[in-house]
Amino acid sequence: MTDQPGPRDDAQERLPAPRPASAPVPAERFSAPPSAHRNDLTPERTGRIVRQSANARWLGFIAVIVTSLFIIGYYFYELGVPGGLTTPRLQQAADDQQVTAVQRGYNLYEANCAQCHGVNGEGGKGPTLNRQDKLFAHLNPDYIRNVLTVGGRYVCGNPKSIMPVWSNAGNPPGPLNYKQIDYLIAFLRASKDDTFTVLDPSLNEPVIDPQTGKEKTFTGWVDPNYKPAPGATPFPDCWTDEFSQPSAAPGASGSPGASGAPSAAPSAAAGETVVQEAALNIAFVNGTLSAPADKPFQIAFDNQDSGQPHNIEIKDASGAATFTGAIVTGPTKVTYNVPALKAGTYPFVCSVHSNMTGTLTVGG
């Protein structure tokens, strides 16, 4: 015997240690009753399957119907019902934006333009804007935008024009940005068939008329049905050119004519009374005139406004013109031959600037 260990069996050492055999532990794999695991179809089970399939088909059919109705409704919502029964959504949105633009343009016009062009575009220091012959083609959006960007010199080439630059893209820059320019153009080009509500510029709420208690409204100026007369000449680019008419010889009719410098006394040759009137700073100097009844007379008119066209138009009580003098651009003088008028009171105005008014008393 020796104390030295003998050689080891490496293969036997590498084997896993033997484990004692154990019996498997029983466990329930399903909690459902045995009848649920049957593969055969009973009449009751077959009926339930058929009923479930029918319900699924109905649910699918209803889902298809609801989806189809939604798609059809959304289609007509976007494009409108045929026959013009409804307005397409995009068109309605564009119309709403147009109304908002006109309302904002109205406030911009009242704040910046009305003092020269009149509250209703009737003219004043500046030209008339509400005339249909001008709105038809002359006052188009491009032309208006150019005038607001360049100023009055774009219209008549007058570097001393009182019309300033309004667009901030001009030189020098004006106070209005491009959106405000668009709003102003939308107001000037609005149709007279449409009525708009006046909005408070700070609150954006309708303005209530204190006298009527109702919302204030306004209408556009453009008549969509207007058509110029056949053979009508285009409106001139420079508004003063419209009134640059040569002096006509005085006639016996109501048509006015120039007859030289006015006289301070009655004309001895014609035996007529001469009435003196002048225009200065877009206003009549003598707001009250008098003339004899049932006799022709003359009006010596002195237009002292440089570059401004003026005339005298006499109206009767109904507002109809009984005499219209030739429009002359100042500074200049002209004598109007007015036919005999019956005794009464006659208002007179400037045909170009309706804010220039006066009163003629005949036979007073």
**Euclidean distance between CA atoms 88 and 206, whole angstroms:** 27
Same domain, 309 and 200: no
Phi, psi torsion values for 227, nearest 5 degrees: -135, 130
Instruction: Check: CB of residue 294 under 8 Å from CB of residue 283.
Output: no
The answer to whether position 329 is within a domain reads yes
**Euclidean distance between CA atoms 120 and 131, whole angstroms:** 10
**Euclidean distance between CA atoms 258 and 260, whole angstroms:** 6
Among residues 319, 270, 315, 332, the alpha carbon closest in space to that of 297 is found at 270
Look at 23-27, 190-194, 211-215, 262-266 and tell me which has the smallest mean pLDDT. Answer: 262-266
Helices then strands, each counted (H, E), the chain: 8, 12
Q: What is the mean pLDDT of residues 263-267?
A: 40
46 versus 37: the higher-pLDDT residue is 46
Same domain, 115 and 187: yes
Q: In the chain, what is the greatest distance between 2 CA atoms, to the nearest angstrom?
A: 179
38 versus 102: the higher-pLDDT residue is 102
Phi-psi category of residue 299: left, alpha or beta, with phi > 0 → left and psi -120 to 50 → alpha: beta
**Euclidean distance between CA atoms 209 and 96, whole angstroms:** 24
Q: Which amino acid is at 60?
A: G
Helices (H), the chain: 10-14, 43-79, 89-112, 114-117, 132-133, 141-150, 153-156, 178-188
User: Is beta strand 357-362 parallel, antiparallel or unpaired with respect to 332-338?
Assistant: unpaired
Domain boundary among 184, 219, 254: 219
- CATH (domain of 268): 2.60.40.420
The answer to whether position 358 is within a domain reads yes
Same domain, 252 and 144: no
Q: What confidence tier does 219 reach under pLDDT thresholds 50, 70, 90?
A: very high
Cα of 318 vs its chain's centroid, Å: 33
Phi, psi torsion values for 273, nearest 5 degrees: -80, 140
Same domain, 215 and 106: yes
Q: What is the mean pLDDT of residues 235-260?
A: 50
The answer to whether position 82 is within a domain reads no
Look at 43-47, 114-118, 343-347 and tell me which has the smallest mean pLDDT. Answer: 43-47
pLDDT value of residue 296: 92
Same domain, 285 and 181: no
pLDDT value of residue 245: 46
Same domain, 343 and 250: yes
pLDDT value of residue 208: 92
pLDDT at 190 over 90: yes
Same domain, 133 and 194: yes
Among residues 142, 139, 146, the alpha carbon closest in space to that of 174 is found at 146
pLDDT at 4 over 80: no
Same domain, 211 and 249: no
Q: What confidence tier does 238 reach under pLDDT thresholds 50, 70, 90?
A: confident
Mean pLDDT of the chain: 82
pLDDT value of residue 6: 58
pLDDT value of residue 82: 77
- The three-state secondary structure class of 327 is coil
Number of folded domains that form the chain: 2
Q: What is the mean pLDDT of residues 203-220?
A: 90
pLDDT value of residue 259: 36
pLDDT value of residue 8: 57
Instruction: Check: CB of residue 115 under 8 Å from CB of residue 122.
Output: no
Domain that holds residue 293: 245-362
State pLDDT tens for residues 25-42.
Answer: 776 665 666 666 666 677
**Euclidean distance between CA atoms 147 and 188, whole angstroms:** 13
pLDDT value of residue 26: 72
Same domain, 295 and 345: yes
- The three-state secondary structure class of 102 is helix
pLDDT value of residue 271: 61
- The three-state secondary structure class of 114 is helix
Same domain, 185 and 275: no
The answer to whether position 129 is within a domain reads yes
Among residues 106, 249, 79, the alpha carbon closest in space to that of 184 is found at 106
Q: What letter would DSSP give residue 355?
A: T
pLDDT at 226 over 50: yes
pLDDT value of residue 265: 40
Question: Considering the entire predicted model, what is its pTM?
Answer: 0.54
The answer to whether position 85 is within a domain reads no
The answer to whether position 342 is within a domain reads yes
Q: What confidence tier does 179 reach under pLDDT thresholds 50, 70, 90?
A: very high
- CATH (domain of 128): 1.10.760.10
The answer to whether position 167 is within a domain reads yes
Same domain, 131 and 177: yes
The answer to whether position 279 is within a domain reads yes
Please compute Rg for the chain using Cα positions. Answer: 45
- Percent of residues, the chain, with pLDDT higher than 90: 38
State pLDDT tens for residues 126-138.
Answer: 888 998 989 998 8
285 versus 266: the higher-pLDDT residue is 285
Same domain, 212 and 295: no
